């Protein structure tokens, strides 16, 4: 053992093998969320794409209000609205090619719809007639995921598998600010970076996890900063600026497709509605705070840009609103019909082949259903069902 | 099978070797089979089951992952979504718990949730159970957690031939299989020909390992050899015991079990897992429901104690051994009241001897 005879004479040297694995500087997010709308740079943006995004935002907003209304009519069990966050939802869907995959959370119905999924199918989980209302392979949209952050490793695995098979497929996975505290978030980011998997992680930082504000969720400088520790770039973007989110995500998707690995994007946004229709947001936030964010509304931001640049006139605005209204009316009408459910479906997809025990239970239900069909239940009997 | 045989001819093989061979043959037959886990590559797994796979098939097919069980299984879910057949190795039973969320919330129910559109052909290999002197967290019998989750198959081989046949069936299965590998049988040997492995009837079928007439021992995994030994010992006392090796806990082969109990009229369920709320309770209930009129005595259970797995120097007291099994068999001479265990003395503990 070395004895230090003269204090201060000893200078520790780094251990021989140590070197930084990666230069962290290029991975660090900008100090401020990236913005495009209202800046000089915005003039160079593709007008057609901007108009398309505008249409999607207007329809998206209407979709959110319509779905929330359906909860009040008892047609939806619950709806986690993405009002205020439509720019993230739309940009995520539009940043992907058809062959790419989207991994949405329970709040991201709108992203699924913007990707082309039928609005009624997108709501199946929340209506409660089944867990997933569509074939994920058909749309390349994974089932809306309820347990927080657990879809992120799935996105990594799928993207990794696609790359092993030689397909240039990218997976984009969405998660909330609260979800970034879950272990699966960390494991997914780490796997993605180690495997250089073609994945884009989009964190929608909407300020709250139900009632818990970001300050109680993390002590990190930003959620985008978390990327650096895993060895992937972190990008910070104004989540209400659809053009900015789209550009950052498109760049991340391009990087991933080119084999340059994953990116973590934090979109700073705000949840205007409560967590869900069942939540009382007045318990944890002030109206004044909500109002400051209303003044930074994603639909207004783009509308101002487009009208300012004479890319949108009143007629065009009206046309988009009419289209949104028609979508809402169609959604209302179709959601107001009771779904046709077959109770025997309960046993259909538990295993590829039914076990003896399940066969027996299915027979029991069949017999109960047949017996119920034979006799008309009286009012009392009916009430017990 | 089109695999080039690495070794052929009947000679002694360990269960670990048979499992490794099953992985190898599955990978050779089907390019969508991928092995992933901690230390499965260069090291060949801590039990060497994956030995040589990375060399033969490359690191893309046999992958050392970061140390994160939820990440491993979660990535396997995504891989399965894209048409691969991942075989995941969990290093030890108690280290599979971080992956529980993925297993229960996604692996087990993805087929159901997507109405059959997204099956999960994932095999989760879990070295399980005690008896190897492992320190804490290396000896758990966690089968009841898996059994309680609809959508999973749960399998535990007890012989070299079954280890090979069942693992191949598990990997070929379009449903997720939790494949419990009895650690203390890893080094058990049998004469076996990897070039011409015995036919195994697939997942969900029990095997009668020993025919008998006096009572049925129902068991699986590491307790199978214990029960066979007990059956031999019981012969001296005039008891001719039948031994049923379940091999598969889900699906459960009620037919074989009930047929046996109807023949013998008496049953003891034997396993290492805890008794209270353990697998034996479910099995005993089923036997009672189906075979009540054939029973000469209540269905008894011989299980581990209801304690966290004990330290290695005490595990021999926890694990059900031959004497405890014989003790239960003696108690099957049911008369009227509850017959208390004799304190693990086997038949010797019964003053009146065995009739
Ligand atoms: C593993 C898990 N724990 C708890 C919950 C209950 N839960 C649902 S949403 C939510 C808050 C999530 O907040 P955040 O990730 O910020 O997403 P946001 O709802 O704001 O979109 C909680 C705690 C859950 N769904 N999953």
Across the interface, do A184 and B102 touch by the CB < 8 Å criterion?
yes
Q: Does the ipTM surpass 0.90?
A: no
Q: Check if the beta carbon of residue B127 is closer than 8 Å to that of residue B93.
A: yes
So what's the pLDDT on residue A3?
53
So what's the pLDDT on residue B8?
67
CA atoms of B174 and B110, how far apart (whole Å):
12
* A–B interface: beta-carbon pairs under 8 A: 141
CA of A250 to the centre of ligand 1 (A): 27
**Taking CB atoms and an 8 Å cutoff, what residues of chain A touch B66?**
187, 190-191, 194
Across the interface, do A161 and B79 touch by the CB < 8 Å criterion?
yes
CA atoms of B80 and B166, how far apart (whole Å):
20
Active-site option among A225, A284, A304, A319: A284
Quote the minimal CA–CA distance from A318 to chain B in Å.
Answer: 38
* CA nearest to A130 within chain B: B113
Q: Taking chain B, what is the end-to-end CA distance rounded to the nearest angstrom?
A: 52
Widest pairwise Cα distance in chain A = 99
The average pLDDT across A19-30 equals 91
CA atoms of A5 and B137, how far apart (whole Å):
46
E strands, chain A, where? 101-103, 171-176, 199-205, 208-209, 212-213, 234-238, 263-268
Across the interface, do A157 and B79 touch by the CB < 8 Å criterion?
yes
So what's the pLDDT on residue A1?
47
Which residues, in sequence order, are bridge partners of residue A209? A212
Q: How far is CA B235 from CA A15, B3, B241, B334, B339, in A?
A: 67, 44, 8, 19, 22
Interaxial angle between packed helices B254-264 and A356-374, expressed in degrees from 0 to 180 and rounded to the nearest 10: 100
pLDDT in tens, A149-205: 999 999 999 999 999 999 999 999 999 999 999 999 999 999 999 999 999 999 999
Query: Residue A9's pLDDT band (boundaries 50, 70, 90)?
Result: confident
Q: Which residues contact A174 (CB under 8 A, 6 or more apart)?
A: A88, A92, A102, A103, A104, A105, A108, A111, A202, A204
The H or E element spanning position B326 is helix B322-331
CA atoms of A183 and A149, how far apart (whole Å):
8
Q: Check if the beta carbon of residue B176 is closer than 8 Å to that of residue B108.
A: yes
Q: Check if the beta carbon of residue B238 is closer than 8 Å to that of residue B208.
A: no
CA atoms of A286 and A263, how far apart (whole Å):
34
CA of B329 to the centre of ligand 1 (A): 53
pTM value is 0.91
Q: Please give the CATH superfamily to which domain B13-190 belongs.
A: Thiamin diphosphate (ThDP)-binding fold, Pyr/PP domains (3.40.50.970)
DSSP for B276-301, please give it: TTSHHHHHHHHHHHHHGGG-SSPPEE
pLDDT in tens, B199-251: 899 999 999 999 999 999 999 999 999 999 999 999 999 999 999 999 999 99
CA atoms of A199 and A340, how far apart (whole Å):
38
CA of A210 to the centre of ligand 1 (A): 7
Query: Residue B350's pLDDT band (boundaries 50, 70, 90)?
Result: low
The average pLDDT across B159-164 equals 97
So what's the pLDDT on residue B354?
40
Ligand 1: which residue has its CA nearest to atom 19? Answer: A209
Which of B74, B98, B113 has the CB atom closest to A131's CB atom?
Answer: B113
Q: What percent of chain B has pLDDT over 90?
A: 87
Locate CATH 3.40.50.970 in chain A: 27-336
Quick check: is A271 catalytic?
yes
Peptide bond into B128 cis (omega under 30): no
Q: How far is CA A352 from CA B59, B121, B154, B253, in A?
A: 31, 10, 15, 17
Nearest partner of B82 among A358, A98, A158, judged by Cα: A158
- What CATH number should be reported for the domain whose range is B207-331? 3.40.50.920
Across the interface, do A187 and B78 touch by the CB < 8 Å criterion?
no
- What CATH number should be reported for the domain whose range is A27-336? 3.40.50.970
Q: Does the pLDDT value for residue A380 go beyond 50?
A: no
**Taking CB atoms and an 8 Å cutoff, what residues of chain A touch B122?**
none
Which of B77, B118, B173 has the CB atom closest to A157's CB atom?
Answer: B77
Domain boundaries, chain B: 13-190, 207-331
Interface of A with B in 124-183 (CB under 8 A): 130-132, 135-137, 142-143, 147, 150, 152-162, 164-165, 171, 183
Quote the minimal CA–CA distance from A66 to chain B in Å.
Answer: 25
- Residue A204 CA: nearest ligand 1 atom is 21
Q: Tell the burial category of A86 from Cβ atoms under 10 Å away from its Cβ (0-12, 13-18, 19+).
A: buried
pLDDT in tens, A281-313: 999 999 999 999 999 999 999 999 999 999 999
Across the interface, do A190 and B80 touch by the CB < 8 Å criterion?
no
Ligand 1: which residue has its CA nearest to atom 20? Answer: A209
**A355 at the B interface (CB within 8 A)?**
yes
The H or E element spanning position A379 is helix A379-384
């Amino acid at each position: 053992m070395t004895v230090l005879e003269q204090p201060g004479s000893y200078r520790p040297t780094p251990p021989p093998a140590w070197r930084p694995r990666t230069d962290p500087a290029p991975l660090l997010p900008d100090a401020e969320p990236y913005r495009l709308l209202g800046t000089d740079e915005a003039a160079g943006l593709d007008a057609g794409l901007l108009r398309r995004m505008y249409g999607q935002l207007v329809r998206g907003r209407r979709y959110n209000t319509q779905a929330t209304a359906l909860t009040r009519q008892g047609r939806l069990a619950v709806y986690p609205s993405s009002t205020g966050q439509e720019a993230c939802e739309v940009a995520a869907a539009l940043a992907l090619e058809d062959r790419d995959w989207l991994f949405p959370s329970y709040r991201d119905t709108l992203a699924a719809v913007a990707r082309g999924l039928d609005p009624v199918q997108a709501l199946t989980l929340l209506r409660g007639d089944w867990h997933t209302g569509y074939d994920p392979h058909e749309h390349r949209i994974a089932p809306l995921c309820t347990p927080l952050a657990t879809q992120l490793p799935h996105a990594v695995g799928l993207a990794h598998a696609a790359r092993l098979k030689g397909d240039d497929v990218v997976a984009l996975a969405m998660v909330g600010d609260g979800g970034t505290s879950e272990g699966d978030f960390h494991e997914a980011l780490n796997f993605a970076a180690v495997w250089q998997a073609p994945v884009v992680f989009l964190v929608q930082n909407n300020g709250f996890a139900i009632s818990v504000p970001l300050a109680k969720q993390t002590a990190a400088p930003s959620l985008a900063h978390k990327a650096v520790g895993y060895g992937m770039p972190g990008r910070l973007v104004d989540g209400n600026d659809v053009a900015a989110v789209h550009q950052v995500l498109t760049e991340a998707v391009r990087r991933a497709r080119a084999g340059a690995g994953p990116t973590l994007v934090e979109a700073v946004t705000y949840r205007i509605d409560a967590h869900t229709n069942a939540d009382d947001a007045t318990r944890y936030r002030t109206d004044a705070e909500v109002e400051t964010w209303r003044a930074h509304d994603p639909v207004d931001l783009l509308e101002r840009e487009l009208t300012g640049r004479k890319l949108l006139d009143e007629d065009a605005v009206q046309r988009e609103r009419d289209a949104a209204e028609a979508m809402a009316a169609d959604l209302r009408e179709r959601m107001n019909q009771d779904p046709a459910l077959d109770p025997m479906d309960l046993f259909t997809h538990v295993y590829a082949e039914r076990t003896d025990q399940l066969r027996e239970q299915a027979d029991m239900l069949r017999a109960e259903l047949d017996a119920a069909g034979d006799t008309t239940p009286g009012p009392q009997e009916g009430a017990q069902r | 099978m089109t695999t080039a045989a690495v070794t052929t001819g009947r000679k002694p093989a360990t269960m670990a070797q048979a499992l490794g061979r099953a992985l190898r043959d599955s990978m050779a037959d089907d390019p969508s089979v991928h092995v992933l886990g901690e230390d499965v590559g260069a090291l060949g797994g801590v039990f060497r089951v994956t030995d040589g796979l990375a060399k033969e098939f490359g690191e893309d097919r046999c992958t050392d992952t970061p140390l994160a069980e939820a990440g491993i299984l979660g990535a396997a879910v995504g891989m399965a979504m894209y048409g691969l057949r991942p075989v995941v190795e969990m290093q030890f039973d108690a280290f599979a718990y971080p992956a529980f969320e993925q297993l229960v919330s996604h692996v087990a129910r993805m087929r159901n949730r997507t109405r059959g559109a997204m099956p999960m052909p994932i095999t989760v290999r879990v070295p399980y159970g005690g008896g190897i002197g492992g320190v804490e967290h290396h000896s758990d019998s966690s089968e009841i957690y898996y059994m309680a989750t609809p959508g999973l198959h749960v399998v535990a081989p007890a012989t070299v031939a079954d280890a090979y046949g069942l693992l191949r069936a598990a990997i070929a299965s379009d449903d997720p299989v939790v494949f419990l590998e009895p650690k203390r049988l890893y080094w058990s040997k049998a004469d076996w020909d990897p070039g011409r492995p015995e036919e195994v009837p697939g997942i969900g079928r029990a095997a009668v390992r020993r025919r008998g007439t006096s009572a049925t021992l129902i068991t699986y995994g590491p307790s199978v050899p214990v029960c066979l030994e007990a059956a031999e010992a019981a012969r001296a006392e005039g008891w001719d015991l039948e031994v049923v090796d379940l091999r598969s806990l889900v699906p459960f082969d009620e037919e074989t079990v009930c047929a046996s109990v109807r023949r013998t009229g008496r049953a003891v369920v034997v396993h290492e897992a805890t008794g209270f709320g353990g697998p034996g309770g479910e099995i005993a209930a089923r036997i009672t429901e189906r075979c009540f009129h054939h029973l000469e005595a209540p269905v008894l259970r011989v299980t581990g104690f209801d304690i966290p797995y004990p330290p290695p120097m005490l595990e021999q007291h926890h694990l059900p051994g031959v004497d405890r099994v014989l003790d239960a068999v003696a108690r099957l001479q049911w008369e009227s009241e509850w017959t208390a265990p004799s304190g693990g003395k086997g038949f010797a503990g019964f003053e009146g001897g065995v009739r």
